[in-house]
Chain A
Amino acid sequence: MQTSDWQPVLVLLVLVVAGVVLLHALSITVRAVREPLHTGPFSGGLEPREHPLSRFHVRWYPVTMVFLAFDMEMLFMYPWTKVVSAVGTTAVVEMFLFLGVLLAGVGYAWREGAFRWS
Chain B
Amino acid sequence: MVLGDREAEESDWVENLWHAIPAPKARVEVTDPDRTADALDRGLTELAHGQLRGPAETSDHDHGAAAGHGEQPEADEHAEHGGHEADGDHGGHDMHTGHETHDEHDGHDMHRAHDGHDMHGGDEAHGDHDMHGGHDPHGGHHGHAGHDMGGLVDGLPMADRADDRDGLRLDRLHVPLGPALADWPAGLILRMALQGDVVQEVTVETVAVPPSPRPPSWGFRAFWDEPWLRTAAGERVSKGDAARRLCAAHLDSLGRFFAVAGWADMAARTRYVRDRALAGADAAELTPLVRPLIRRAGRSWTLRRLTTGLGVLRTGQARHAGVTGPALVADGDAHSRMLMWLDAVGRSAAACDETETLDLDGAEAIGPRGRVDGPVPPSQALLDVLPGLLEGTEFACARIIVASLDPDPDELAHVPAAGMLHG
Contacts and interface: CB of A to CB of B under 8 A. Distances in A.
Direct contact of A and B (CB under 8 A): yes
Interface in B311-368: none
A68 interface: no
B19 A57 contact: no
Given A47-B16, A54-B159, A42 B140 contact: no
Interface residues of A, number: 27
A57 B197 contact: yes
A118 B12 CA distance: 34
A40 interface: yes
A46 B184 CA distance: 14
B24 to A, nearest CB: 5
A61 to B, nearest CB: 11
A38 B174 CA distance: 21
B393 A39 contact: no
B305 interface: no
B132 interface: yes
A42 B23 contact: no
A8 interface: no
Interface of A: 32-33, 37-59, 117-118
22 contacts: A32-B52, A33-B23, A33-B53, A37-B20, A37-B23, A39-B134, A40-B133, A40-B134, A44-B180, A44-B184, A45-B133, A46-B178, A49-B157, A50-B174, A51-B158, A52-B173, A56-B196, A57-B196, A57-B198, A58-B196, A59-B196, A118-B394
Interface of B: 12-14, 16-17, 19-20, 22-24, 52-53, 124, 131-136, 139-140, 142, 153-154, 156-160, 164, 166, 168, 170-181, 184, 189, 195-198, 393-394, 397
Q: Which 3 A-B pairs have the closest CB atoms?
A: A57-B196, A40-B134, A38-B139
